[in-house]
A and B are shown apart, each in its own frame.
Chain A
């Protein structure tokens, strides 16, 4: 079974530039998550989708971050404009729809973003 795919794996940009990350969850997984993991910290949930609808985006800095999952499958996370403090690993995860609370999340390899 193919895992969660993410691209690019690494990205280096200058502050105030824009960047986009892509995620393709495991086939059949209706729930998709984007996390930000700063070095030395645990992952912080940015946004959760159920199919193509947003379930929770309370921790997404909406002035600069946006995310979409138009067809309920793959998803894009964008940062515009980037700040130095956005340097982190951006992790995408998915799990099956039923009983989301009790099911394992499967993570992709992440995108390591460096903002200079």
Chain B
């Protein structure tokens, strides 16, 4: 089983749609969680951190469920510019520091 698993995608949605991505992690020692966005042939960039209480940034909402070991990202009112790959990132400290990226979920938003 992979340490971080994401919805395989791709997701094809029309503009204005609401789309949700899920990510599960296997190590209960995981301590911090992030969503990064990666445009085609570009480097990853931080989209948002994920907190236990849930957090929102405009049209984006991230949730963490430690008991079930998953995080989610909700995008409301999708824009064409949201088309990208969304990477789930988990950090843990288990004797040493470890950063694990998921494989990413590709989103295509169409007019």
Nearest CB in chain A to that of B42: its residue: A109
Interface of B is mostly: strand
> Which size class do A's interface residues fall under?
20 to 34
Question: Which segment, of A11-19, A67-75, A77-85, A98-106, faces chain B?
Answer: A98-106
Cα A40 to Cα B85 with chains together (Å): 10
In the complex, which residues of chain B have a beta carbon less than 8 angstroms from the beta carbon of A43?
A: 44, 87, 101
Nearest CB in chain A to that of B101: its residue: A42
In the complex, which residues of chain B have a beta carbon less than 8 angstroms from the beta carbon of A109?
A: 42-43
Any chain B CB within 8 A of the CB of A25? Answer: no
Any chain B CB within 8 A of the CB of A88? Answer: no
Nearest CB in chain B to that of A44: its residue: B101
In the complex, which residues of chain A have a beta carbon less than 8 angstroms from the beta carbon of B96?
A: 55-56, 58
Shortest beta-carbon distance from A57 to chain B in Å: 10
Are A40 and B103 within 8 A (Cβ)?
yes
